[in-house]
Amino acid sequence: MSNLQLLAGFDMSKLFGDSIRAGINVQSAAFALGAVGLNLHYGFTGLLNVGMVAFMAAGSYGMAIIFTQGLLGGSILLGILGGLVFATIIALLVGIPALRLRSDYLAITTIAIGEVMRISFRSRRLLDITGGPFGLPSIEDRSADISLADRIGRDWNPLFNVDDPTRTFGFWKLAFDGKTLWLMIIGWTIVVLCSLLVWKLIQSPWGRVIKAIREDEDAARALGKNVFSYKLQSLVIGGCIGALAGIVRTLDSGFVESNQFKPQTTFFIWTVLILGGAASKWGPVLGAFLFWFILVFFEELLRQIISSSSDMVFLGLEANDVGRMRLIIMGIMLAALMVWRPQGILGKKEEALLDAR
């Protein structure tokens, strides 16, 4: 089969349309948020948080439980607040013992707390609260009979029109229904606000102390800065931003389940941050877009190549290998980036070079 025939079988608009769509959808916004929080932790404070998913779980479950139990009058905003409080408690629980120790202890503790939370939430003993292994398939205020998805996607949605519920907005492959677009707007607005918040903090004298701690804790201490307290503040703020990542994802999907909080999510968020560039202002945002764009692009590309080849095999790959291949490709690209541009796409090159001195 010639190259020309191969190309002819390609659906370019699907290839690029689906990839861009993946880069800007709510899932991507959630990852961007996780990376904004991680950027404060790792990029600016130097905290090795390897359990961002724990904060996401705290946010998602916190909000979902409050809503389903009808605790605070079934209010979404109070539910979100509850999720943030839960994330704060987790940050303090992890931070108070671990932040006094060497930095590797935080890494161990955070990765553990994520798993502890995931496994506890799916325990049958918590069936009535977290839904155990089934999760909370539909987050509903049981007393008021309103689901979270309906409340946010319909009742509160200015883009939703009762007379024309299937109306779409946009063009080409980028047409979204009212609910999806509404949640994208909410998600990316929170991303932008959190990015600006972190940046404003970093540009202040508070941020100067935070960066000093990243560079050398002892130097900061010798100049009278309460390093432990600053690290704890950073952990709590970044953790709450991570909780918002979980919350945004849950607002979109309308359900929570423990499988959404596997450790790999944490590593995807790390990938997002490193791709975009740690310690940069918009690195997490660009990183999240690229992460999803690349994943979907290569998945779709391989799928199209395979389906257009006569024997449905390409380089020994079949259609159901594609899902795994896309992660391998992501890994290779990340490794190449580390060699050619270790500071990430938006990171400062000069800073990466300083490490060698």
Partner 1 sequence: MPADLNAAQQAVRTADPTPGSAKQDPILIIDEVSRSFGGLQAVDVKRLEVQRGVITAFIGPNGAGKTTFFNLLTRFDDPDTGKWQFNGEELSGKLSHSIAQAGMVRTFQLTKSLGKMSVMDNMMLGAQDQKGESLFSALVKGSWKSQERAVEAKATELLGRFNLSHMRDEYAATLSGGQRKLLEMARALMSEPDLILLDEPMAGVNPALVQSLLVHVEALRDEGVSVLFIEHDMDVIMGISDWIVVLAEGRVIAEGTPEQVSQNNVVIDAYLGTSFAEDEGTP
Question: Contact residues for partner 1 (CB under 8 A)?
Answer: 197, 200-201, 204-209, 211-212, 214-216, 218-227, 233, 350-351, 354, 357
CA distance 273 to 289: 11
Please compute, for residue 76, the number of CA atoms within 13 A of its CA located in the half-sphere on the CB side.
19
- Smallest distance from partner 1 to CB 284, Å: 19
Closer to partner 1 by Cβ: residue 46 or 74: 46
Q: What are the residues facing 146 on neighbouring strands?
A: 141
- The conformational region for residue 313 under phi > 0 = left, psi -120 to 50 = alpha, else beta, is beta
- Smallest distance from partner 1 to CB 79, Å: 25
- Smallest distance from partner 1 to CB 227, Å: 7
* Helix/strand/coil for 101: coil
- Smallest distance from partner 1 to CB 199, Å: 11
Closer to partner 1 by Cβ: residue 207 or 246: 207
The token pair that represents 104 in the structure block:
């590797």
- Smallest distance from partner 1 to CB 244, Å: 18
Q: How far is CA 95 from CA 152, 228, 337, in A?
A: 33, 9, 32
Check: CB of residue 287 under 8 Å from CB of residue 274: yes
Residue partners of 231: CB distance under 8 A and separation at least 6:
45, 47, 95, 99, 213
Closer to partner 1 by Cβ: residue 128 or 350: 350
How many Å is the Cα radius of gyration of the chain?
22
CA distance 174 to 215: 43
Check: CB of residue 279 under 8 Å from CB of residue 39: yes
- Smallest distance from partner 1 to CB 354, Å: 4
- Smallest distance from partner 1 to CB 59, Å: 20
Closer to partner 1 by Cβ: residue 64 or 241: 241
Closer to partner 1 by Cβ: residue 1 or 222: 222
Q: How far is CA 334 from CA 243, 268, 337, in A?
A: 26, 11, 5
* Helix/strand/coil for 317: strand
Closer to partner 1 by Cβ: residue 67 or 199: 199
Closer to partner 1 by Cβ: residue 213 or 269: 213
